[in-house]
Structure formats: structure tokens, C-alpha cells
Amino acid sequence: MVFPFRSIEDFRIELNPDHELFRKSVREFVENKVMPRWKEIEETNSVPQEIYQEMVAQGYTGVGIPEEYGGQGGGLTMAVILTEELSRASVALSVTVGVRDLFVVPVLKHGSEELKKKYVVPVARGEARAAHANTEPGAGSDVAGIQTTAKKVNSHYVISGRKIFITGAAEADYLLVSARTEPPRPDKRWWGITTFVVEKGWEGLKIGQRIRVMGLRGEQPYEVILDEVKVPEENVVGPLNEGFKVLMDTYDHARIGVAAQGVGIAQAAFEKALNYALQRQTFGQPLIAHGIITEKIADMYTKLQAARLLTYWAASLADKNMPEYLIAASLAKSYATEAAEWIARQAIQIHGGYGADFETGVERYLRDAIITTIYEGTNEIQKLIIARQLVRQAFGLKI
């Protein structure tokens, strides 16, 4: 046994020529359409509509979604490749597409067939956009602490509450919303939460202020206010009062995508640093000829490749629906995002004063990387999950 896994075969990464062909096609799109406009995205704090529509035309909104529901298939591994390549140019761009997973995954895994056909198909085709509204002012990583309520009235629910840091809310046509349908039990704080599909146009749903976080310029989050929003009972996703499990299942999947964002950021920062170190002359020789810079470059490259391997490994396990993917997802998310933060910091240092200059496009990597260490469960929470999964998988115990 390879503690705590069953076999060394569990460490296999499943890739094939189609994955590489897809990566090259996305890289070409990024180089031609996105890289020349990164500054525009940062300065306007928005993704140009024509870029998004071109991604729809390329089928990116359907990557990882089964063909029977309007998608392109390819599983999580293909979605990770897409996220990595888009994040290399603009994390906001990857979020614009990737945020749909926080809606699509729970509906596909826990929703009725009617909900899948009604809501997933248009999202996969790029005809509609979707987001996920769970975080509240007093409940972030502590999902069981949400206070939004949903009261049953005849054949519908009335939802009231306030959500915050909701990515993609302004553009979304549909939201997956969590709310309390019952108070928590003394022995089960998570009990009593239910998830719902809520449509943008329904009375009482309001998009509040935009929250100007330090990174993600181009796709920054919003406040969402629900003031007695009537939701049909058929829009419940998953078992009543067990929405906590739906949410945890969703985040187990989504954190692999955040790891891929970290890999994309790390790749971009590493490329910038390496090119600059080769071209910049100091004391009569290239910057990279100095031992301290050589060491930085080697360490950056090591962390980058380790992050990529962890992320692809987690995606491969998830695509095979192996239970070990839960611990791999947290390993990948925490390591890849922290590696991205460290690599971005070194890239700035290698560039010196130019690294802190917005015009060079280097400092944005650090801003974006820090955000990835926080959302979809902070890295502190990921390490707690790793320890718990380790004990559970190895000894069948709960801590």
C-alpha cells in the first residue's frame, strides 16, 4: 500500500493526444485574442463581450459537460487544461467560463432530469450564464453558518437573505442559491440547508454592489440580495435539508479548477521571469548568470511542474470517480495556489522595479494568485480537509 492510497497505480495521470491538441488550440486562441488585450481587461475591469462570444463559438462553455446536456464532453481533465491556458493570459477570463461549474456540477449530480435539461443545456451552449450564491457576510468557509432562509408556502419557497463575494452574479441568468429550510440540529450543524435554482428575472432578486477585491480584475464579485424571492419547489437541487452535502460535493470538484488557475498564473509568471532574466544585462552579463537568480529560476520551475502534476493527477482521479480524488483536490488546490503566489513574488523580484509597474503585466500575477489561496475554501481549510481525509482513508476514523 502507498499510504494512504491502495496502489501506485492510483498516481497515474490519464492524458492522450486529444488533450494536447485541445491545449494547443486554446493556447493559439489565447495568444492571438487575449494576450494583446490583457491591459484592457485590467483597466476596464471587464472581459470584452466579443472575446466571450468567441469562447462560446469555440465551445469552451461546454467543455467538461456531457454531450447529452449540450456540452463538449472531455471530463474534468479537459476543463483543467482550458482553465490553465486561459488563466495564463487572464484569470478573470478563466473565471468567466469556469464559474458555470459551480452551478452545473450540483445540478448535474443532484438535480432532477427536468432541471438538467432546462438549465444546464443553455449554459453549456453559451446561450445563458450561471453562478453560485452561497457565501454570506458571516459565513464563508463555515458553510453551515449561513443565515439565508427559505420558507415553504404552498408549492413554492420564499427565500430571503444576503449573499456576498458572488462571482459572475451580474451576468448570470441562473444562480444556485443556498438557504436554510430548517434550523440546524444540535448534533448536525449542517442539517437544514437546501439548494435551489433561482432565475435572474424573478421578483425580489437584486444584484448589489460590486466588490473591488485586490485581484480578478475583469470578473470581480458582487453582493446578491434576496428579498422574498418565490422559487418553485421543483427547483430544489438535491435532497431537502441536505444541501450542505450538495455544496461540499460541488467544492470538492471546483477546487481542482482553482488549482488549474494557480498553474496558469505560475506558468505565465515563470515565462516572464525567465525571458527577462535572459535579456536583462547587469554587471556586464545576463541576469540569469548570477547564482541567486539561477537558483530562483530553478525553484520556480520545480514548483510549477509539481503544481501541474498534482492538479492533473487530481483531475484524473476525479474523472475516474475514485474516492481518493477528495484528498488530491485539496492537495492540488493548496499547493498550486501557494506555488503561484510564491512564483509570482519571485517574478516581481527578478524584474526589480519593473516588476512593480502595472505596464509590464507582472504584478497582476501576485494579485490574482493571492485570491486563489482564499476562494473555494481557504488553504487553511484545505489543510484541515487533507488531515481529515488522510485519517478517514487510512484508518476509517473521523476527526
Annotation says 376 is catalytic: yes
Q: Write the CB contacts of 20 (distance below 8 Å, at least 6 apart in sequence).
A: none
CB distance 48 to 93 below 8 Å: no
List strand residue ranges (DSSP E) for the chain, in order.
130-133, 149-153, 156-166, 174-180, 193-199, 205-210, 222-232, 236-237, 281-282, 285-286
Residue 211 DSSP code? P
- Cα separation, 361 vs 304, whole angstroms: 19
**Which of 43, 84, 376, 380 is labelled catalytic?**
376
Q: What is the pTM of this model?
A: 0.95
CB distance 376 to 251 below 8 Å: yes
At 390 the pLDDT is: 85
C-alpha cell at 80: 483543467
At 7 the pLDDT is: 84
The four Cα atoms 96, 68, 81, 17 give a dihedral, to 10 degrees, of: -150
Domains of the chain: 8-125 (1.10.540.10), 130-241 (2.40.110.10), 245-395 (1.20.140.10)
At 4 the pLDDT is: 75
226: left (phi over 0), alpha (psi -120 to 50) or beta: beta
At 140 the pLDDT is: 87
* pLDDT values of the chain reduced to their tens digit, one per residue, 399 residues: 577 788 888 899 999 999 999 999 999 999 999 999 999 999 999 999 999 999 999 999 999 999 999 999 999 999 999 999 999 999 999 999 999 999 999 999 999 999 999 999 999 999 999 999 999 999 988 899 999 999 999 999 999 999 999 999 999 999 999 999 999 998 899 999 999 999 999 999 999 999 999 999 999 999 999 999 999 999 999 999 999 999 999 999 999 999 999 999 999 999 999 999 999 988 989 999 999 999 999 999 999 999 999 999 999 999 999 988 999 999 999 999 999 999 999 999 999 999 999 999 999 999 999 999 999 889 999 999 999 888 887 787 777
The single-letter code of the amino acid at 378 is: T
At 141 the pLDDT is: 85
At 80 the pLDDT is: 98
At 233 the pLDDT is: 97
- Cα separation, 218 vs 44, whole angstroms: 7
At 114 the pLDDT is: 98
Residue 146 DSSP code? -
- Cα separation, 326 vs 352, whole angstroms: 40
At 268 the pLDDT is: 98
